[in-house]
Structure 1
Amino acid sequence: MEIGNAEKIYQIMQKFQKMKMNSTHTSELPRSEIMMLKMIKLNTAETEGVTISTLGELLEISKPAVSQMINVLEDKGYVERMTTKNDRRIVYVRLTENGKQRLAKELQSLLKGMTQIFDKMGEEDTEDLLRLLEKLYLIVSACTHK
């Protein structure tokens, strides 16, 4: 019985999930903490920060889980909590300078690892992969916005 392309892609993606993707990327932080720092950076307003509710929605995790991770990152000195004078019930989170530096270092290390992988793939295969991923993104994006 022949396996269809969708199933083959699914199986390959499962293999990626099972393997340790950051074998070329050694980190002092768990991947979940790096993702949290990245989400905070991407969604922080100029003067405020981002709310725990917003982070939970973006990462599709519960508010208590977000709060717990924020506690850990706060203890490490990577984030800080703030309230505004207008509404002290709303707590905002933003990166500290130390958090910004850590995130930049982690992303630099990740990019270095990815560059090593793409060097092994070769320029032509890498360009083909990028072209196909962009095409896939556009198709999926169009399908999900209907």
Structure 2
Amino acid sequence: MTDPAKPDPLSKRRLKSWIRLLGVTRAAENHLREFLRVNHDTTLPRFDVMAALWRRRDGVTMSELSRMLLVSNGNATAVVDRLEKDGLAKRTQSATDRRTVYVALTEEGLRQFEQLATDHEGEVNKLFASLTEDDLDALTEILKRAGQRGETA
């Protein structure tokens, strides 16, 4: 345990690392937003909703979808409305509870998402092409440790 009265010599370096990590994340996200807009006429939120629905092919409730994406029900609903209008998603009412509505990708939605995902992966690969296998292993280990910080504190 660190002594709160004694300054941590790594504090400034950790702060700089956080700022660098945030900068890399924001730059990559902005690049991917533009890539999806220009090359696929779609948005990152739409991609994220489709990815969540692709992972849960049997469908999810709107509340589950919002929790999975860490967004409000309103934000998820707006994206699902557009996907449904475009024939890429379909809502179905629960057989046991009329208040519960499930949403899932249609066959066309699955097909389109799989192409989007392939292209997205290729673009991420290009973005981080300068990282070697050893770099990726080290980065993965570092991020795992950083993610555990709250669990061990």
TM-score (norm 1): 0.77
Match of 2:23 in 1: 15
Aligned to 1:128, the other structure's residue is in SS state helix
Aligned to 2:87, the other structure's residue is in SS state coil
Aligned to 2:116, the other structure's residue is in SS state helix
Residues 18-29 of structure 1: matches in 2 within 5 Å? 18-19=26-27, 20-22=30-32, 26-29=39-42
Distance 1:64 1:39 in 2: 16
Distance 1:52 1:110 in 2: 25
Shift of 1:56: 1.5
Confirm or deny: 8 A CA contact 2:54 2:113 kept in the other structure.
no
Q: Of the two, which has the highest radius of gyration?
A: 2
RMSD: 2.7
Q: For CA contacts below 8 A with separation 6 or more, give which structure has more relative contact order.
A: 1
Match of 1:91 in 2: 101
Aligned to 1:127, the other structure's residue is in SS state helix
Sequence identity (%): 20
Shift of 1:5: 2.9
Q: 1:32 aligned to 2:45?
A: yes
Out of 55-64 and 22-31, give the one that drifted further: 22-31
Shift of 1:71: 0.5
Aligned to 2:135, the other structure's residue is in SS state helix
**Which residue of 123, 134, 139 corresponds with 2:133?**
123
Shift of 1:69: 1.1
**Which residue of 62, 71, 91 corresponds with 1:61?**
71
Q: 1:77 aligned to 2:77?
A: no
TM-score (norm 2): 0.74
